[in-house]
Amino acid sequence: MSKTLPPKPRRLKGGDGALSAAAIASGVRSGEASAEEIVRGRLDAIRKDDPTIKAFLAVFEDGALEAARAVDRKRREGGKLGRLAGVPVALKDNLLVTGTISTCGSRILENYRSPYDATVVGLLKSEDAVIIGKTNLDEFAMGSSTENSSFFPTQNPWAPGHVPGGSSGGSAAAVAAGFAPVSLGSDTGGSIRQPAALCGIVGLKPTYGLVSRYGLVAFASSLDQIGPFSRTVEDSALLLDVIAAKDPRDSTSKAAPRNGGYAEGIETGVKGLRIGLPRQYFEAQGSDPEVVSSVRESIRALEAAGAVVAEASLPHTDYAVSTYYLIAPAEASSNLARFDGVRYGLSEKNAPDLGALYEESRGVGFGAEVKRRIMLGTYALSAGYHDAYYEKANRVRTLIRRDFEEAFKSFDLLAAPTSPVPAFKMGERMKDPLSMYLADILTIPANLAGIPGISVPSGLTSKGLPVGLQLLAPAFAEKTLLRAAFALESMRPFPRLGSRD
């Protein structure tokens, strides 16, 4: 009688751009997948399609392959592999990686080479992730479309000719296009959640202080936060597990809650969760009816699954954009003063004196939007106007934070559209800064309050453009946020762009 041999493990295809980070890491650890094969597949996809999408400013082909081989060698030698074994990760180019050019999408830093790793980069490497490249962004993360990059705009993979959102548009496009299963971006006023919505993927902004900002080039220090992009909620939870850690090098860093384990219990559903619908978010200026309709349909699905849904109110929402555009530029004016042509990057060395060196280096090195925000911020901080503008904005910020505190006395989560509109056409808003600023009208309040938020795909418009639903939670309630996002993802499966074999 012949023995029945166990089936050989199924080999994961390196060219399958639909593979999740969780599947890749599991496959590499078990030997079903080779890290090198996975990374080669993503590099092939980038080589083939990124000349059109333009998600990347730099691709670390040699370094990524070397890191992948090291992961495979570690497995063969019996070493314990990390939680992100062999997972290709793309990084927004305002995150520092030792020995690589870090431009922040700006000419003033186009030759700046980082001497150290950002804390999140070190944490990724410690879990055997493979850094595959640096992605495009609006210059110094100032923008909502990735058209403000000093190098080139990034296309939306769903609809070339449309923006991917911003400022982390390159990171969002890289995941949506299947170039990497996950990426990191930064969110100062919606720069993770808004591009995630426009590109049909998941984007998570953690609680302010949960993820170290050490090694993130600062835009607005009281607002900036690093977070993941992914195709699945589970992958966002996996990345958050890795990057949420107390860091003594960041004075705003807070210890992760002891219950950690963001993927644990993610599948327990939404029964009994109280979800509020902020009236002001559904009536936002310029809202597309198809966006609102899609989000309401997703909310009905959550309600059918047992969530308790009712209207909520955040009465100071209308002041959020004007408050943000005083606080953020003021902090940017201070943070960007260091780029003076002396210590970092571009320097107009033929200037006749020091004052001219500063003026000419910054004049050539900074783009129009960065200059606009520096001037706004410098004015708001100037003598005679500091109290009238900056201090008043901070008082309104307190009112916005109290709105959320009051709402969360009645609700576990808040739900609303992420962006009032789907991806708009390139160039459509570039000549009207105010209309561009209003693209973040629904995401800015969470940054002002320091609370976590996630954007999850909700559906497609009649023109085939993605719509995102935003969930907001009290500080450090990421587990509840992810649990509800996972439930929605399970009930309303979202079409993905085809895998790129």
Total domains in the fold of the chain: 1
C-beta of residue 369 within 8 angstroms of C-beta of residue 328: no
Using the 8-state DSSP alphabet, how is residue 390 labeled? Answer: I
Other C-beta atoms within 10 Å of 1: how many? 3
Beta strand pairing status for 202-205 and 453-460?
antiparallel
The residue range of the domain holding 242 is 21-323+389-491
Each residue's pLDDT tens digit, 159-210: 999 999 999 999 999 999 999 999 999 999 999 999 999 999 999 999 999 9
Q: Give which of 452, 217, 412 is closest to 310, Cα–Cα.
A: 412
What is the mean predicted confidence (pLDDT) over 270-299? 97
Q: Give which of 215, 183, 184, 213 is closest to 115, Cα–Cα.
A: 215
Q: Which contiguous run of DSSP H or E holds residue 92?
A: strand 88-92
Full-model pTM: 0.95
Q: Which of 114, 145, 168, 191 is catalytic?
A: 191
Per the annotation, the verdict on 92 as an active-site residue is: yes
Q: Give which of 149, 133, 250 is closest to 183, Cα–Cα.
A: 133
Per the annotation, the verdict on 191 as an active-site residue is: yes
Q: Is residue 361 part of a domain?
A: no
Each residue's pLDDT tens digit, 133-162: 999 999 999 999 999 999 999 999 999 999
C-beta of residue 34 within 8 angstroms of C-beta of residue 72: yes
Q: Which of 34, 54, 92, 150 is catalytic?
A: 92
C-alpha to C-alpha distance for 37 and 19, rounded to whole angstroms: 13
Q: Is residue 9 part of a domain?
A: no
Q: What is the CATH number of the domain that holds 244?
A: 3.90.1300.10
Per the annotation, the verdict on 298 as an active-site residue is: no
Q: Is residue 365 part of a domain?
A: no
Number of H helices, E strands in the chain: 16, 11
Q: Give which of 75, 104, 278 is closest to 185, Cα–Cα.
A: 104
Q: Which of 106, 145, 167, 253 is catalytic?
A: 167
Q: Give which of 151, 153, 198 is closest to 176, Cα–Cα.
A: 198
The set of residues, in sequence order, having a beta carbon less than 8 Å from that of 134 and lying 6+ positions away, is 56, 57, 58, 60, 90, 91, 92, 93, 95, 97, 100, 101, 102, 103
Using the 8-state DSSP alphabet, how is residue 248 labeled? Answer: T
C-beta of residue 242 within 8 angstroms of C-beta of residue 494: no
Residue 458 reports pLDDT greater than 70: yes
Residue 18 reports pLDDT greater than 90: no
Q: Can you list the alpha helix ranges (DSSP code H) found in 305-419?
A: 320-335, 354-365, 368-381, 392-407
Residue 6 reports pLDDT greater than 70: no
Q: What is the radius of gyration, based on Cα positions, of the chain?
A: 22
Q: What three-state secondary structure class fits 113?
A: strand
Mean pLDDT of the chain: 94
Q: Is residue 329 part of a domain?
A: no
Q: Is residue 478 part of a domain?
A: yes
Each residue's pLDDT tens digit, 365-385: 999 999 999 999 999 999 888
Q: How confident is the model at residue 258 (pLDDT cuts 50, 70, 90)?
A: low
Q: Is residue 43 part of a domain?
A: yes
Backbone φ, ψ for residue 471 (5° rounding)? -115, 135
Q: Is residue 114 part of a domain?
A: yes
Q: Is residue 383 part of a domain?
A: no
Q: Which position has the token pair 């591009």? A: 195
The lowest-confidence range among 3-12, 106-115, 264-273, 422-431 is 3-12
